[in-house]
Amino acid sequence: MKELPVLKTAAMKLVLAIFICVSTCALAANTPKPDGTEVSVVEGTLIQVSKLPQADRNPYPDCNFTAVLEIQRITAGKSIPKKVILVLPGFVARQYTSEAGFKTGDLVRATIVPFASMPDRIKQTQQADEVEDVDLEFFFARPIVKISAFQPVKEKLSFTDRRDSSDQIVSEIKDPAAATERLRQMREDLRHINEELTKHGGDWDYWYESLNRFRAQYKKKYDEKAQLWVGDSYFSAGQNEYGKGYSRDFVSSLVAFNKYLKDRNVDLIVVRVPQKGEIVDDLFTDAPTDQISNPYLLRLYKELLDADVEVVVDEVPRLKKARMSFPLMYYYQDFTEEHPAEGAAWVIAEMISERLQRYDSIRKSPKVPLKREKVSLQTGGFKWPAGNSKFKPTEPVTFYSISSDQLPLLKQGNNSPVLVVGSSFIGSPSFERGGNIPAYMAYQTGVIPDVLYREGSNATIPRTIAREGDAFLKHRSVCVFPLVPWAIHLPLDLPPLVNPATKGKVLLSSHSGNDLRKIIRFAEGTAANVFRYTSDGSLTVHSRSKDTRAAGDFTVELPEAITRFPYFMISIETTTKDAAAIKVTYAKQNDHVHKSYTQTNLEEFFVFRSEVASGNAVFSIGNIRPDTPMTIRSIQIYGLK
């Protein structure tokens, strides 16, 4: 089914009503409500009401509409901003609701909840939206009634600010023309997705199931390791999972990261680097003529666009169109290798570079003279596949290398208007030799981007940016985030609950060496080889076996003194060169980080709101390579004030 925005999307803020035909799910009177902690009871004035379409002429039988509510008072429940957008039922089964009669200036009393918390059948209903304010939060109202006057109350709840007062907005870059072009691009991408969904019956599941035969055909070719030269371009039936799944937690974390950057006046552009099988399926099977082999990726992109996250939606067709221009788009001669070769890296850089031209800061930046030459990796690289006399299988694969008098070409600087972030996929074919997505972007735009390169982990990027501080974003216009294909299955590591750098820290306890044994308890049933203490008392964490990256859990005893502070922080000193995933749980709160093979900082920290008099924090460790254990040297616990 088509879905409505989970959050307000800037791509839908048009002066005229936009009616996205999405579902025929009826809005039941007994609308389910989420956890009661999300509910607010408010009174206020409707200061804008979107116009409904005519029910008898509308293509779909149900329609919601939006209205801006200026809240006079919060009489019960959770504090929320003073001005919000309400989603209201307009008509159900072509019958107008009582809310359809609301008009600008009406006084109302309503029980409201965050729209993102509503079930899919509510979020998938057509919506009429004329509201242009890009910063307001969405809420669903049920029930809502018109009143003649505001009722006196003994005690009113305070309003929340839209932004935490500790946030520092540092960017001075303003570019209205770029913002307008960004909205146009996102509207166009949404229109394309909605049109494709309509062509396939308006039902994601039906569309996906209709491709079962094709998926079975491709799976057979994949199992056979089918391969071929087409002219001077080489392909094989590489990995293509075609799975339905993407994590809702991934979506919400990417939305939160987008907001973090937006609050600092930095745009985010996301592009998922496809699996190499996604751009060759039609060479080995009767693939769909519309080049959409996994509709659920479009569903993901729609959710992100609806939540004001700019994502490139046509990467697969673009890569297919360009594939005969390169001998290798991916390293198809190695069936286990997923990283992009020169072809895919170059085309993805082109797609991003086209969007970067909307920014005044990029168009006006002095163009750096860059050199382009063919190079190869003499050690550790791939050899050409056999079967074409122009490419000798005894010789290493060549690729374009971008270089300049500025060495190194790519670095983690602070001054470029473009920041490219990511893991090893932004460093392939070679980070050091200048053959990769950000280097090719530099050649195509003349502007060298700064990079935040964290090999081994996409997930760590938002938290790492927060660690760098707001000054790191001061001169940016845009952050480009090429995702590894499987990044969509796990949430990103978000900035901590509060920024420890802006708080006073009080050391409550410190443990290192043999003292670690006093506060650490291993989970019952943990394999004996997972956790080991070294001669100096450090704790090493190993994978359970050579065939898995799973490790195990342990608890850390917390000092009772944490309750004297609104927040506390657990800091651990580790070693570098591993990419462990560390999740810490305390009193139903979670904080997590993914380490990177290339990070230089030794400290990782986890922040929580103090909730119980005493207790434990549970550490869950994963993604441990069998040959690369993680080492914890010390643990400190701080109160934050």
Looking at residue 340, what is its pLDDT?
97
Weakest mean pLDDT among 7-21, 63-77, 207-221, 289-303? 7-21
- 26, pLDDT greater than 70: no
Q: Do domains 35-146 and 501-640 have the same CATH topology?
A: no
Backbone angles phi, psi at 501, to 5 degrees: -65, -20
CB within 8 Å of 165: residues ≥ 6 apart: none
**pLDDT single digits (tens) 80-139:** 888 999 999 999 999 999 999 999 999 999 999 988 778 767 876 777 877 766 567 889
Under 8 Å between Cβ of 110 and 74: no
Backbone angles phi, psi at 238, to 5 degrees: -80, 180
User: What is the pLDDT confidence band of residue 160, given thresholds at 50, 70 and 90?
Assistant: low
CB within 8 Å of 33: residues ≥ 6 apart: 39, 113, 142
Looking at residue 9, what is its pLDDT?
41
Q: pLDDT > 90: what percent of the chain?
A: 67
**DSSP SS3 for 113:** strand
What is the model's pTM? 0.72
**pLDDT single digits (tens) 513-556:** 999 999 999 998 888 899 999 999 999 999 998 888 999 999 99
Backbone angles phi, psi at 139, to 5 degrees: -135, 155
Looking at residue 573, what is its pLDDT?
94
DSSP 340: B
What class, spelled out in words, does domain 501-640 have in CATH? Answer: mainly beta
Backbone angles phi, psi at 576, to 5 degrees: -90, 180
Three-state helix/strand/coil letters over 239-301 = CCCCCCCCCHHHHHHHHHHHHHHHCCCCEEEEEECCCHHHHCHHHHCCCCCCCCCCHHHHHHH
Sign, CA dihedral 315-10-116-606, equals positive
Q: Where are the domains of the chain?
A: 35-146, 176-489, 501-640
**pLDDT single digits (tens) 408-457:** 899 998 899 999 999 999 999 999 999 999 999 999 999 999 999 998 88
User: What is the pLDDT confidence band of residue 10, given thresholds at 50, 70 and 90?
Assistant: very low
> Cα angle vertex 124, ends 123, 126, to 5°?
105
**pLDDT single digits (tens) 177-224:** 999 999 999 999 999 999 999 999 999 999 999 999 999 999 999 999
CATH no., domain 35-146: 2.40.50
Q: Is the peptide bond before 429 cis (omega within 30 degrees of 0)?
A: yes
